[in-house]
Amino acid sequence: MEFKEINPSPRTLMAPGPVEADPRVLRAMSAHILGQFDPEFTALMNETMEMARRVFQTKNAQTYTVDTTSRGGLETVLTGAICPGDKVLIPAFGRFGYLLSEILERCGADITLIETDWGSVFDPEQIEAELKKQRYKAVALVHGETSTSMMQPLEEIGRICKNYGALLIVDTVATLGGTEVKVDDWFIDGCIAGTQKCVSAPSGSALITYNKAIEDIILARKKVEKGIRTAEDKASSLPQIPSNYLDLAQLQDYWSPRRLNHHTEATSMQYAVHEALRCILMEGLDNRFARHKLNDKALCAGLTAMGLTIFGDLKHKMPVVTAINIPEGLDGKVLRAELLNDFGIEIATSFGPLDGKILRIGNMGYSSQKRNILFTLGALEAVLLQHKVKLPAGDAVAAALEVYREAEQ
């Protein structure tokens, strides 16, 4: 047989996703398959909903998973909540802000895109100024923009959106499970996360939550399939959702006690998400956020001690991603290839205006570990030394160790 079994080389995944899945999550996926309507399986689905509520810090009934990667989760919530012609404000501060706009353009939304320099975030006043100009149905934005490493504070924006009667829909793909995301306290109406970043499961599922305001829109757009339609299903009063597969109305019914047949739930990914959420709750949200913060502090101390500069507005840097400016004369592609090939460490390149200018280092989920931080700093130093960069050899790992030592006291 010319095709070999799966046997990946050892890897330390320090890009901002996908990151290392918790080994408990990987093991959970090897459990045998249950039927999708087996009461044991639907009980698991209900537990996933409850655990996801705790991780999203919400009481939203509608909190579940979509059988897509995180991008599909974004599209599902956006195209469910937004009808053609609805005015949507998108404050974009990196590549994934553009993605929200791309998704909404296709469903016929009337989009106003405002931008800020890559490496900065928005002042809440900028959002308010836009909402004053005209009435918007929704504001859609990214919480943690991995393309720039910036994190947009949301609490005040949530309050402003509420005041102006605009829905707030937030992409927390890169932040959920690694840093605070408070859906209810921050007045977020719809929120989407991935599994392959701080949640530390494989890519392939999206976590979503939305409140009554969005649920009401969904119900008004609902249409039950001909093959399984009954008399109690009435016609929709708003335009139907454009996709069958990404149809929140159908997904909601599938996840409801009615369990109306839609797709065949991705069994093993459901096991993975269930176990990943359980691991998060066993660790405790506060402990988990503190772990990411400490590892971030150690990483940044090490990078700085090495003489590297950190990209962007440091006040708003995500604790789970750090971007460094590539030292002059060096090729980021070459550095990354050497890290991967010699050390089995993966870090990330960048997009658009930052392409070739920065390298991005993730610090997410199971990958966010003291040993990985130390290993990455040591390896990066060695690679830079190979390229004759003048740096104080040994200082980076020492500076990081000092951070850990202080924290232990």
List, as residue ranges, the binding site for substrate. 360
Q: Which is nearer to a second copy, 181 or 273 (CB)?
A: 273
Q: Per 3-state DSSP, what percentage of the chain is helix, strand, and coil (rounded to 5)? A: 45, 15, 40
- Give the nearer residue to a second copy in terms of CB position, either 185 or 225: 225
Q: Which of 61, 114, 219, 281 binds a second copy (CB under 8 A)?
A: 281
Q: Furthest-apart CA pair in the chain: how many Å?
A: 76
Cis status of the peptide bond prior to 18, with omega within 30 of 0: yes
- Residue 145 CB, nearest approach to a second copy (Å): 11
Helix (H) or strand (E) holding 379: helix 370-386
Cβ count within 10 A of residue 376: 27
Q: How many C-beta atoms lie closer than 10 Å to residue 40's C-beta?
A: 8
- The answer to whether 287 contacts a second copy (rule: CB under 8 A) is no
DSSP state of 209: E
Q: Which span sits near a second copy by CB under 8 A: 8-16, 183-191, 298-306, 396-404?
A: 8-16
| Contact by Cβ (8 Å): 88, 111 | yes
Asked if residues 17 and 362 have their Cβ atoms less than 8 Å apart, the reply is yes
Rule CB under 8 A: which of 41-80 touch a second copy?
A: 41, 44, 47, 50-51, 67-72, 75, 79
Contact between residue 152 and residue 143 where contact means Cβ atoms under 8 Å apart = yes
Of 269, 320, 335, 400, the residue at the interface with a second copy (CB under 8 A) is 269
When binding is defined by CB under 8 A, the residue of 116, 267, 363, 372 that contacts a second copy is: 267
Least separation in angstroms between CB 77 and a second copy: 12
Residues 343-382 that bind a second copy (CB under 8 A): 346, 351-352
- By rule CB under 8 A, what count of residues binds a second copy? 91
> What residues numbered 190-219 form the site for a second copy, per CB under 8 A?
194, 196, 202-204
Residue 83 within binding range of a second copy, rule CB under 8 A: no
Q: How far apart are CA 190 and CA 206, in angstroms?
A: 13
Q: What is the distance between the alpha carbons of residues 57 and 51, in angstroms, rounded to a whole number?
A: 10
Q: Compute and round to an integer the Cα radius of gyration of the chain.
A: 22
Does the footprint of a second copy cover residue 6 (CB under 8 A)?
Answer: yes
Residue 13 as a binder of a second copy (CB under 8 A): the answer is yes
Residues 6+ apart with CB under 8 A from 47: 274
Alpha-carbon dihedral angle through residues 211, 216, 220, 224, given to the nearest 10 degrees: 50
For Cα atoms 153, 155, 161, give the angle at the middle one, nearest 5 degrees.
Answer: 110
Residues 314-333 contacting a second copy, CB under 8 A:
none
Binding to a second copy, residues 84-143 (CB under 8 A): 95-96, 98-99, 101-103, 106-107
Q: Any contact of residue 36 with a second copy (CB under 8 A)?
A: yes
Q: Which stretch binds a second copy (CB under 8 A): 180-188, 270-278, 290-298, 385-393?
A: 270-278
Look up residue 116 and give its two tokens: 């800020």
Q: Of 216-245, which residues contact a second copy (CB under 8 A)? A: 225-228, 240-245
Piece of 20-28, 136-144, 289-297, 322-330 that binds a second copy (CB under 8 A): 20-28
Q: Could you tell me which stretch among 152-160, 213-221, 272-280, 387-395 binds a second copy (CB under 8 A)?
A: 272-280
